[in-house]
Chains A and B, each alone.
Chain A
Amino acid sequence: MSLLSIKNVTMKFGGLTAVRDVSFEVGPTDLIAVIGPNGAGKTTLFNTITGIYTPTEGSVTLDGSPINTKKASDITKLGIARTFQNIRLFNNLSVIDNLKIARHTRIQYSFFDGIFKTKKYKVEEAAIIEESIRLLKLFGLEDKKDLLAKNLPYGAQRKLEMARALATKPKLLLLDEPAAGMNPTETKELSNLIHFIREEFKIAIILIEHDMNLVMQIAEKIFVLDYGNLIASGSAKEVQSNPKVIEAYLGAEIDVEAH
């Protein structure tokens, strides 16, 4: 059975259709890439999956139950986590606090436990710190745990955002251009990291990426969006030789040059 199923999803902003009639399925440990020219609707697709936007039409189901009308916060609780194209960390909080916040939906102790610092609170907080440090170690960030997020170098901020998404304990992780602004060495490291995450956490991953090398290297399946339409899907080879895809990309390039 598929983990995530998207059926005929359309997202309109007034007269603009950012995503048009898109359908696809994601299995429990799939590693999928979504590609497409600028403005193709990739981020918008993520926003409709994560509940930032409610799709104008169509349905999104996770584990068989519909989530397309649910609030973003409830969707996180059900098991979808994401990162943002323009990094959105809690800038004035420490690295470890960023991760602690991500545990929000998994907290068992009550408000009164927190105010009166009961045993239950102490035990759980200790566990949260331990788990957060374990995650930071996986991402090589543990020596930076007390720095403010905004003081991290760019690459480390991207990593922290991924770690924070994982700290919500998702079944599906959405990464919006994780390699943006990274140099080739960092990108290589990132591709190893993404593989590692899937093996370690046994989750499905969808990433949006412009770096074709990275996409071809790690994605088992590629979806191509163009002007909101899903114009192709398949393995790296299949997609590369698809005439529609070539046209979309060449067309986009000509457009860019015309400006």
Chain B
Amino acid sequence: MDYYLQIISNIGIFITLTLSLNLINGYCGQFSLGHAGFWGVGAYASAIYGVYFALPVDPMINMLISISVGFSAAALCGLLIGVPCLRLKGDYLAIATIGFSEILRIIIMHTESVGGPRGFTNIPKWTNSFWVWGIVILTTIFMLNLKRSAFGRAIISIREDEVASETMGINLFRFKLFSFIIGAGIAGIAGALVAHDQQFLHPNNFNFMWSVCILVMVILGGQGSVSGSIVGAIILTLLPEILKLIGSDISVWRMSIYSALMIILMLTRPQGIFGPHEIFEKKRFAKKLQKGAA
């Protein structure tokens, strides 16, 4: 039973992470490869709150505070990295964000008060699947409503064409930074969830490989699609569990399977499962596309 609950929580945590990266990568078109870094900052910040600064109040209130701490810490990192790095384009931004997340991991690795390489233990258990899925629902609504507002449209136009976007009166830097900060912040919330759910953190849980995994989830579902992020996260969180059932040693195979999956995807459906669209508009769009081709 516990095992299945754990998987259900994990799926929710990865959906939150994928949705948050989808804002940066799918909506805004910025190639960030350090998302696990923001996740880690959120996780360690809320764990620090839980272990050293917890208030003598109801765990529910403490969890709310801890989520805010995780969000703020990660969003602050997003701001600090975003300001210098968002002026970089494409691959350069990817390299800068990898650099940031690796530096961060190494700092944590060498900080004794958060357990260093042994991991951070004794984090209070303040959360459960309900919290996780509550956050998933809120994040989903946020992302969908953002997409349908002028602010979301502005962000998406940056992905489509930066020069045209600017000529429409959109302040590129402001909206890129906004996406980066909010995307990082929500990854930080996922960090708070994982910290108080598993009660144990290890710096290697937030390494480069995990950034790639989250990115693969976004791309599999379809960059820019909320439905896609959700489906992508579910598939790729369940896949290792299924492989485990058949008895393979997943830690060895995970990266090879992801790579193979990416290659197949790029060859057969480069836009991902949903493209930039949502599940509820899928049929309508298919019709429109046909009309357009006719």
Contacts and interface: CB of A to CB of B under 8 A. Distances in A.
- In this complex, the member of B145, B146, B153, B156 whose beta carbon has the largest number of chain A beta carbons within 10 angstroms is B153
Given A76-B169, A104-B169, A148-B292, A88 B150 contact: no
Contact of B168 (A52, A76, A121): A76
Contact of A101 (B153, B284, B292): B153
Nearest to B287: A146
B167 A81 contact: yes
Contacts, number: 101
A92 B222 CA distance: 13
A97 B160 CA distance: 12
A114 B153 CA distance: 11
B167 A92 contact: no
Interface residues of A, number: 42
- In this complex, the member of A107, A109, A164 whose beta carbon has the largest number of chain B beta carbons within 10 angstroms is A107
Nearest to A145: B288
A168 B292 contact: no
B43 to A, nearest CB: 25
A26 interface: no
Nearest to A115: B145
Contacts of A81: 167
B276 A92 contact: yes
Contact of B288 (A50, A82, A125, A146): A146
Nearest to A121: B149
Nearest to B145: A115
- In this complex, the member of B142, B160, B161, B284 whose beta carbon has the largest number of chain A beta carbons within 10 angstroms is B160
Contact of A104 (B170, B276, B292): B170
Contacts of A82: 167
Contacts of B167: 50, 52, 72-73, 76, 81-82, 88
A139 interface: no
Given A88-B163, A92-B276, A168 B153 contact: no
Interface string B141-172: 01001101111111011001101111111111
A82 B167 CA distance: 7
Contacts of B252: none
Contacts of B145: 114-117
A94 B291 CA distance: 13
B293 interface: yes
Given A90-B164, A103-B150, A73 B157 contact: no
A77 interface: yes
Given A50-B167, A147-B291, A104 B142 contact: no
Given A102-B168, A104-B170, A168-B169, A89 B154 contact: no
Contacts of B171: 71, 73
Given A73-B171, A93-B156, A88 B161 contact: yes
